[in-house]
Structure 1
């Protein structure tokens, strides 16, 4: 607001100048007046934010415009009486022009903030809808396979069957928890462990796991159900089609200002087309990351030496740090 108002003063000073490019005396006096009114009006509005938040759009707009107009009137009277006294008394026509100009500028600024707020709400609504859709997506084949595995364990290994039921219920609970935009990385890793425990019962020795988690990143902020779908794709496309199975590697590390998450699995054999089916899930994941973290979030997929790798790059910050940043 300060920069915008100063640019506005600069334009008026250029228009006002009769000689040269700019009237510096006019620029200095008008800058002093505009900056003081801008600062004091913004300070008063900030102090009244709790009350303004409970008003409707029309009420808040009227209150803010009233504050700005009274502030401009007070400084105009002060300027005419003290800084630039006129022999004929107060120049009400000049003050009226300033009030009209302040009214127009205030309405333009409020309109800009309103449109920006509407755009942010639309972005949040779209992101929440995408998140809800993704979280509600429990693959039918995974559910059927899990239930069959649990049924086969009830008689022979009831303890394992009970643990599998608890793991499955936790996965469903996470898919229905749609109010959280970010969770600690430790919770997402725990969810992956529960998912892999269920798949381990079904695949047995065909599934090997390689965990490489750098300590100290437990509170890293990550959208819920971001890593688990990548692990699910690694199982479905990299392990399940192979009779000999394979290894899924999950790696988490930090470098500079970023945290890197890697999910690796054996690449599909030549002619295998099912792997392309996870592109939509990867695109949805990237869209969620960009909505939350902006361009600093990156998702890449690569294939090298028969190893398929999906890499996530997130800015290094905790959930609380993200909330404080957004609240600004």
Structure 2
């Protein structure tokens, strides 16, 4: 018997020229090829020009002639410098921070010097006369500004890295706390099947090993919904062996949501709670309904089960699991992600709302979670 599992992993940024140790994401200067970055640079430089025009004015509030000329000069130097840094960014990222900073400063100063010479030739009425003092002032001002901007970029990059590291540690700690309650029951079920139904026992062992491999895989912050659903099917297969006809499952999954981003081990604990609190205590069992649908810009995951009995210990365990999932959702998605639970008559419902976000797919068949041939 053979079973093939396809693992979907989050696509990361491509290394530079095949160098796996360095990526442009590690560089502290933002990508100046993006429209938003260029817009912010132009807006900031224009505000600086406005301040200088106000200071330069002697009688009116603003020296409009000075503002127009300086604005033209600053915008051209800003755009050309940003274009050069954008083109050289992959090489700059491999140089290290000190060398990259020196080269960026040199690029900006050379750009300012070239445009200063051009402006001098156009605006100076005396041929071959170069206002070196004016050019030197522009270079000094450009040096101070670019150093302040680079310092700001560096501090922002350091803060972002620290924030990501803290969030990664927090998510890893939250995910490590997910310890499936069904471990001992599953092992007992497998032990009872070994003598009578060895093939089903073998299937259950594979399902159980994959579930615990997923619980120990803390490096993935977001995975495709297809992988989480596959994990839920494995879990339900184990519980079906234990509960038999007492467990009934209804699926209602909207097609096209396979690449929806979801934190790992998010839906599976909700199904586990539904069985542990709503099915297992009832001699007659019951039905667990799992629904996945899309409404506008959100994806809804709904788990329904018979309302649990009033057992404070079980309610406490349920609240802990829901709080854990809620904490991870808030860390990754913020306010758009919502987790709520309700009870209407005899049906207990947990609703999970995620913002529509896809995960890039890289197929990796293999690894120990890939193809397995018993």
Question: Is TM-score (shorter-chain normalized) higher than 0.5?
Answer: yes
Cα 1:67–1:291 shift into 2, 3 Å: farther
Q: Is 2:203 aligned against 1:151?
A: no
- Structure 1 position 170, deviation (Å): 1.2
- Going from structure 1 to structure 2, the CA distance change for 1:206 and 1:119 (only over 3 Å counts) comes to farther
Q: Aligned partners of 2:290 and 2:324: how far apart in 1?
A: 20
1:299 equivalent in structure 2: 339
Cα deviation 1:283-317 (Å, max 9, x = unaligned): 44334334443433222233332433222222223
Matched residue, 2:226 = 186
Q: How many residues align?
A: 321
How far apart in 2 are the matches of 1:294 and 1:111? 29
Deviations 1:166-190 (A, max 9, x none): 1011112222333333322111101
Matched with 1:238 is 278
State the partner residue of 1:218.
258
- 1:227-255, CA deviations, whole angstroms, 9 ceiling, x for partnerless residues? 11222222233333334433222110011
Distance verdict in 2 for CA 1:64–1:278, change over 3 Å: farther
Per the alignment, do residues 84 and 248 of structure 1 end up closer, same or farther by CA in structure 2, a change over 3 Å counting?
A: farther
Aligned pairs for 1:167-178 within 5 A: 167-178=207-218
Aligned partner of 2:93 in structure 1 is 53
Q: Partners in 2 of 1:284 and 1:63 — Cα distance?
A: 47
Which protein has the bigger helix share? 1
Instruction: Return the TM-score normalized by structure 2.
Output: 0.78
Q: Tell me which residue corresponds to 1:111.
A: 151
Stretches of structure 2 lacking an aligned partner (at least 5 in a row): 1-40, 362-374
Match of 2:316 in 1: 276
Q: Taking structure 1 as reference, are residues 79 and 97 closer, same or farther at Cα in structure 2, changes over 3 Å only? A: same
22-31 vs 170-179, which moves further? 170-179
RMSD over aligned CA atoms reads 2.4
For structure 1, the residue ranges without an aligned partner over 5 or more in a row are: 322-328
Instruction: Report the Cα distance in structure 2 between the residues aligned to 1:165 and 1:92, rounded to whole angstroms.
Output: 80
Q: Which has the higher contact order (CA 8 A, sep 6+)?
A: 2
Cα deviation for residue 199 of structure 1 reads 1.6
TM-score, with length taken from structure 1: 0.88
User: Relative to structure 2, which stretch is displaced further, 140-149 or 254-263?
Assistant: 140-149
Q: Distance in 1 between matches of 2:173 and 2:309?
A: 31
Kindly indicate whether residue 200 of structure 2 is the aligned counterpart of residue 200 of structure 1: no
Aligned residue for 1:227?
267
Q: What does 1:1-328 align with in structure 2 at a 5 Å threshold? A: 1-85=41-125, 89-137=129-177, 139=179, 141-270=181-310, 272-320=312-360
